[in-house]
Chains A and B, each alone.
Chain A
Amino acid sequence: MIVAEDRAKQFLASYGLQTPHGRVAQTLDEAMAAAKELGGAAVVKALIPTGGRGKAGGVRVCPTADQVRDAAHSLLGHHLLGHPVSQVLVEQMIPAVREIYVGVVANSATAMIDLLVGFSGGVEIEAAAQRGDSAMLHLAVEPGDALPVHRVRRWLGQANVEVFDLAGLASILTTLYHAAADLDAILLEINPLAITQTGSMVALDCKLEVDDNGLVRQPELLELYCASLSDRVLRARTLGVSYVPLDGDIGVITSGAGLGMATLDLLKRAGLSPANFLDTGGGISEALVKGSLELILEPAQVKGAIINLYGGINRMLEAAKGIVAALQNIPGNRPVVVKILGNQQEEAWALLEPEPNVHVIRVIQTEEAVSRLAQLVG
């Protein structure tokens, strides 16, 4: 989950870091009112969950109230980097004498927590990171380490770079490390961290990505997350399955993500295009399969479906009953190709084969199921 900038900054503030005064606005009037509170001049930022926003024109520095209005007008209700802008953040302008990058990343490749500092902060650092040539200081910390601040001070001290305020920067980095652990963050970065004329360090932007599996112990974020999901994705979550909407016209259910991706690859090879992708996960029951099939057949453009299940120890007769029950309630005669293997597979096939729109594949090769579906919808 990517946490919106305003919320991420509230977290930073709760850890004692400095952030600009600001307010979220959904309308021009709200944006103007916020700017007035700040004394007229403000920075207006599109609240969208993605990086690269500054370069795309989503961050506007507005020295006057009129400019605030213009900026809010050109952002609100429009799309930026593929995301609709329904809110802007109107913030105090903080003049910086220097901008740096600080971040904490849970590095899945090395299984370490990376502390990063870049002394050329700002928009360029994202491009540099993607090119892999960013000249960043990098400290790898073992996950679960209590990381005392003195170690970070020593590291910064040995780095042979000119650090403006070693103790202050070490304290910010250490705080970020602990905040990231508390929040189940995969990524917590401040870019830029502004150093002002008076020497204070202010987080002008904050990016926070939280591990979806960690949301169970972040109740407040879990609520925000669920509120951000589309109706079908939320219903899938309630059902205990994962649902990804796509652009094509074939509904897809699989037990397991890898088998699902392989199924999508085979569909593409056969010239078919998936409308969605639903992964049942491990626990297959009649209700779960019924709900899943109803969900994937719901979009009107879906002209056929494939169900690819490995039951393992789950009783596949239950899955078959779920398929029959779902199709009873759904009008039309869209073909559903079913490949189910596992415990009670014969009973499942026997129940499904008389169904007029169901086509049972009895072999392990998904290729067979996909080519049958291609014949049926082609």
Chain B
Amino acid sequence: MTILLDNDTRGLVQGITGKVGQAQTHWMLQAGTRLVAGVTPGRRGQQVEGLPVYDTVWDAIENEGANASVIFVPAPFARDAAFEALDAGLKLVIVVTEHIPMRDTLEIKVRARWAGARVIGPNCPGIFVPGVGKLGIMPAGIFRHGSVGVVGRSATLSYEVIGNLTDAGLGQTAAVGIGGDPVACTGFTDVLRLFEADELTRGVVLVGEIGGSAEEQAAEYIATMSKPVVALIAGRAVPPGRRFGHAGAIVRAGSGAAEQKIRALREAGVSIADTPAQIPALLQERIAGVTDPVSYATAPPSAARPGQG
């Protein structure tokens, strides 16, 4: 069993004829992904990387049986592309596009809720499932098949974490990038639920960062999880009130600070890594059940909570 992608996935690329869409289609195919079609309005009949291009998502579904979409359409048109995928009935839509106005993202999220569909992103690297493939842009070279789930807001920091895991011999069941914008259509908790239910996943790494309250929300769910979670929160050294690349990474008065997130996660039983390189050892210990999370905080071993670890 895998999460999100499996051997029944028949991927569709919206924006396939653009420079990015075309290149990423090549690399998704290289990673073994089953892609069946592309969509660019007005380009029906063309081929990209051997895939047929259609004018509409409906055509791609009808002719090729597409059942999931990854969107590389430029920001001004991305809302419409996501609406089309949802209106055509797709239940898994990954929006890689960055710089989508927040209003548009909010409207995509509402429509996904109406449709009972899962939208991941925007401004995200998508999904990678070793052994199955990827919908998105994560580099295949850093992965190895194994039993760790990874979920992160930042793409490249997640890559660094995955690389560290792989270097340490800890392969992955899947990695999901939820995106760096203030509004993510799929949150940490949604992905954590999938990992919790996945029989192959033995532990999870959460890659968070300053801004918003996604990590605090995740902490509430993690407290109920049976599987160990290790987290890294980027941005402890970042001064408040400034925006650091990610639109979501801004510490506002009274919220979004790293300390708050770390406290909430620790209270939920999460082991906090101070640097990416610390993650594999922390996770290994937690998976082996050797260490209780509380001992990573300042509490003495006697304060260890029973039933965890």
- Structural contact, A244 and B164, CB atoms closer than 8 A: no
Q: Are A364 and B183 in contact (CB under 8 A)?
A: no
Chain A interface residue count, CB cutoff 8 Å, equals: 51
Interface of A is mostly: mixed
**B27 interface residue, CB < 8 Å from A?**
yes
Rounded to whole angstroms, the CA-CA distance of A313 and B156 in the bound complex is 13
Counting chain B CB atoms within 10 Å of each CB, which of A212, A246, A260 scores highest?
A: A260
* A216 CB–B CB distance under 8 Å: yes
Q: Beyond A111-B183, A277-B244, A279-B245, is A130–B234 a contact (Cβ under 8 Å)? A: no
CA distance A341 to B164 in the complex (A): 13
Query: Quick check: is A259 within 8 A (CB to CB) of the other chain?
Result: yes
Chain A residue numbers with a CB within 8 Å of B182 are: 108
Q: Which residue of B lies closest to A256 (CB)?
A: B156
Q: Are B101 and A260 in contact (CB under 8 A)?
A: no
Report yes or no: A111 in contact with B109, Cβ–Cβ below 8 A. Answer: yes
Decide yes or no: A258 and B207 within 8 Å by CB, A212-B247, A214-B101 being known contacts: yes
B170 shortest CB reach to chain A, Å? 13
In the complex, the chain B residue whose C-beta lies closest to that of A309 is B156
Indicate whether A211 sits within 8 Å of B23 (C-beta atoms), given known contacts A108-B182, A108-B212, A111-B183: no
Tell me, rounded to whole Å, the shortest Cβ–Cβ distance linking A115 to chain B: 15
Given contacts A143-B109, A257-B249, A258-B153, whether A364 and B164 have CB atoms under 8 Å apart is yes
- Given A181-B103, A281-B98, A269 and B275 touching (CB < 8 A)? yes
Given A108-B183, A111-B183, A213-B100, A257 and B275 contact (CB-CB distance below 8 Å): no
Number of A-B contacts (CB under 8 A): 167
Of the listed residues B139, B212, B232, B249, the one surrounded by the most CB atoms of chain A closer than 10 A to its CB is B139
Nearest Cβ distance between residue B237 and chain A, in whole angstroms?
4
How distant is the Cα of A366 from the Cα of B167 in the complex, in angstroms? 14
* Residues from 86 to 132 in B contacting A, C-beta threshold 8 Å: 98-103, 106-107, 109-110
Least CB distance from A146 to B in Å reads 12
With the chains together, A246 CA to B238 CA distance in Å?
10
Q: Does A242 contact B (CB under 8 A)?
A: yes
How many angstroms between the C-alpha atoms of A279 and B244 in the bound complex?
A: 8
Given contacts A257-B244, A310-B159, contact A265 B236 (CB under 8 A): yes
Q: With A108-B212, A342-B139 given, is the CB distance from A143 to B180 under 8 Å?
A: no
- Nearest CB in chain A to that of B278: its residue: A367
Is A109's CB within 8 Å of the partner chain B? yes
Contact-residue size bin, chain B (C-beta under 8 Å from the other chain): 35 or more
Contact residues of A between 96 and 120, Cβ < 8 Å to B:
106, 108-109, 111, 113
Contact A217 B101 (CB under 8 A): yes
Q: Are B98 and A216 in contact (CB under 8 A)?
A: no
Residues of B within 8 A of A310 (CB): 139, 156, 159-160
Report whether A186 and B153 are in contact in the complex, using a CB–CB cutoff of 8 Å.
Answer: no
The verdict on A40 contacting chain B, using a C-beta distance below 8 Å, is: no
Task: Tell me the A176-217 residues at the B interface (CB within 8 Å).
Answer: 181, 184, 186, 211-214, 216-217
**Nearest CB of chain B from residue A176's CB, rounded to whole Å:** 15
Q: From known contacts A106-B102, A184-B101, A364-B167, infer whether A260 and B244 are also in contact, taking CB-CB under 8 Å.
A: yes
Residues of chain B within 8 A of A313, CB atoms compared = 23-24, 27, 137, 139
Give the 3 A-B residue pairs with the shortest CB-CB distance, closest first: A258-B154, A257-B245, A256-B156
Residues of A within 8 A of B (CB): 106, 108-109, 111, 113, 130, 132, 142-144, 181, 184, 186, 211-214, 216-217, 242, 244, 246, 254-262, 264-269, 277, 279, 281-282, 310, 312-313, 341-342, 363-367
Binding site for A on B (CB under 8 A): 20, 23-24, 27, 75-76, 98-103, 106-107, 109-110, 137-139, 142, 152-160, 163-164, 167, 180-183, 207, 209-210, 212-213, 217, 232, 234-239, 242-249, 253-254, 274-277
